[in-house]
Amino acid sequence: MDLAFPHVFLWTLLAFLLTWTVFYVNNRRKKVAKLPDAATEVRRDGDADVIIVGAGVGGSALAYALAKDGRRVHVIERDMREPVRMMGEFMQPGGRLLLSKLGLEDSLEGIDEQIATGLAVYKDGQKALVSFPEDNDFPYEPTGRAFYNGRFVQRLRQKASSLPTVQLEEGTVKSLIEEKGVIKGVTYKNSAGEETTAFAPLTVVCDGCYSNLRRSVNDNNAEVISYQVGYVSKNCQLEDPEKLKLIMSKPSFTMLYQISSTDVRCVMEIFPGNIPSISNGEMAAYLKNTMAPQVPPELRKIFLKGIDEGAQIKAMPTKRMEATLSEKQGVIVLGDAFNMRHPAIASGMMVVLSDILILRRLLQPLRNLSDANKISEVIKSFYVIRKPMSATVNTLGNAFSQVLIASTDEAKEAMRQGCFDYLSSGGFRTSGMMALLGGMNPRPLSLIFHLCGITLSSIGQLLSPFPSPLGIWHSLRLFGLSMKMLVPHLKAEGVSQMLSPAYAAAYRKSYMATTAL
């Protein structure tokens, strides 16, 4: 017994040391696997190719597109319930074309969506009916769709999650995992409240205008320029519901449009510093006493219906933010987390769908996404190829919104009247502007041509029937105001990239060559 004891002790000690050694080595391997080399990452079987933060319009559409290309996609969304939003309720004809190229056109079906053929524009008792043009160069039906945003988002999520290589998970992303300037994945809290991690060679931040990850990737800040105040009038239908109603009211525009067969969205723009309180009823009184009298009589009953029935009034900040390229590798930002423009032309979803088409085509030649340097080159190419389209839409949205602002300044008001007259004049001027507004012809030169046309038309009114010293003075001021609207936006977007024939050709290649799989 006494002689055997030391042997038993030694064998027990040896077994303990071997067990500890195996445990230590395995644990070290796991740690190394979590943080591989920055240039070449070895993907584990359980890892995705792409992590997408946010399952809104952009995140869900991107997940579907990449999964169709054979990528394994992990989508993490904070709240999987149907969103209740006031924005993202209209898809322009150009956006519908992009949806079709992604194979997602049926996402706008079966949600009580409403056909929109154009605008009914009202100003000071005048009315103009303008339609999206029948353009042979536009290879799709020239109509838009209005709908409840949440229903559309849920359809996109269903489409994405129907693919076997998409994992759609509810969770709140807390931070990005970074090593030596390369984003490796995310830390998030899952639906059970457990904090966990996910890793992928490429992380896409697509969590909307309130993104809490944007600042850790980009240094751009969103500027709040106004507020959109709106509500829904239920159990009613507009006269000629296929036309969105745009009212040039004061202080800025008011819109009414059918978002279901029984519901009408009423929305208007109010500027900071003069916003009545919603909670104590001041906003409802303001809408009823100040805004309603400006609404044309045929629309006023529907406008007042929602207020009288106690509809929930919401105020959403209107934000503007230029797109900037992140210096970090392994990550890209998309959607409202990346780039925002004034919503007056309802083109935010169209821009993100265009971005998805470009990004998808650039990633398709890559067999895997493990080379961080190649991914960085793709992201840089994406940033410049998107410019001809995105810069056109951004500049148009910001300039058009400024024209819609009411003013006692004679030059500014002449520009506002000139815009109405240009839109309602018919011919190539109306069709050209509506093609721009509908995303059917998102070309920078067309934008510049029509904005200059509105300016010259407005100047012509100031100088008619005969030029006067005061008319000439206001004309010069109007020209200066027009350049102030246009030039800073063109400069911010990058004129050389925006007007580059090479980038325009690369965009057309992405736009025309990409087809749904």
- Per-residue pLDDT, 490: 78
Enter the pTM of the model. 0.88
Residue 380 DSSP SS3: helix
Spatial separation of the C-alpha atoms in residues 263 and 242, rounded to whole Å: 13
H/E segment holding residue 334: none
Which CATH class for the 223-319 domain?
alpha beta
Higher-pLDDT residue of 451, 512: 451
How confident is residue 345, by pLDDT bands cut at 50, 70 and 90? Answer: very high
Domain 50-112+147-222+321-370: give its CATH superfamily: FAD/NAD(P)-binding domain (3.50.50.60)
The number of angstroms, rounded, from the C-alpha of 3 to the middle of its chain's C-alpha atoms is 80
> What integer is the mean pLDDT of 118-123?
97
> What integer is the mean pLDDT of 74-101?
95
Tens digits of per-residue pLDDT, 145-160? 999 999 999 999 999 9
Tens digits of per-residue pLDDT, 458-475? 998 899 888 899 999 999
Tens digits of per-residue pLDDT, 464-508? 888 899 999 999 999 998 888 888 877 777 776 677 666 667 776
Pick from 103-107, 211-215, 478-482, 490-494 the range whose average pLDDT is largest. Answer: 103-107
Spatial separation of the C-alpha atoms in residues 55 and 334, rounded to whole Å: 12
Tens digits of per-residue pLDDT, 9-19? 334 444 444 44
> What integer is the mean pLDDT of 14-29?
41
Pick from 44-48, 50-54, 442-446 the range whose average pLDDT is largest. Answer: 50-54
Tens digits of per-residue pLDDT, 229-250? 999 999 999 999 999 999 999 9
Stated length of the chain = 517
Is residue 392 over pLDDT 80?
A: yes
| Mean of the per-residue pLDDT values of the chain | 87
- Per-residue pLDDT, 510: 66
**Which residues 6+ apart lie within 8 Å of 468 measured at CB?**
none
How confident is residue 419, by pLDDT bands cut at 50, 70 and 90? Answer: very high
Give the percent of the chain with pLDDT over 90. Answer: 71
Instruction: List, as one string, the DSSP characters of 3-35.
Output: THHHHHHHHHHHHHHHHHHHHHHHHHHHHHHHS
- Go through 300-333 and write b for each residue having 16 or more CB atoms within 10 A of its CB, e for each that does not: eebbbbbbeeebebbebebbbbbbebbebbbbbb
DSSP 40: B
Residue 128 DSSP SS3: strand
Q: Which of 37, 50, 40 is nearest to 374 (CA)?
A: 40
Cβ(230)–Cβ(148) under 8 Å?
no
Tens digits of per-residue pLDDT, 427-448? 999 999 999 999 998 888 899 8
**Which residues 6+ apart lie within 8 Å of 313 measured at CB?**
229, 230, 231, 278, 283, 284, 287, 307
181: left (phi over 0), alpha (psi -120 to 50) or beta: left
Is residue 421 over pLDDT 90?
A: yes
- Per-residue pLDDT, 503: 65
Domain residue ranges in the chain? 50-112+147-222+321-370, 223-319, 397-507
> What integer is the mean pLDDT of 56-65?
97
Could you tell me the sign of the dihedral formed by the alpha carbons of 495, 499, 504, 505, in that order? Answer: negative
Q: Which of 224, 229, 219 is nearest to 209 (CA)?
A: 224
- Per-residue pLDDT, 248: 97
Distances, alpha carbon 176 to alpha carbons 217, 241, 273, in Å: 9, 46, 36
Is residue 516 over pLDDT 70?
A: no
DSSP 313: P
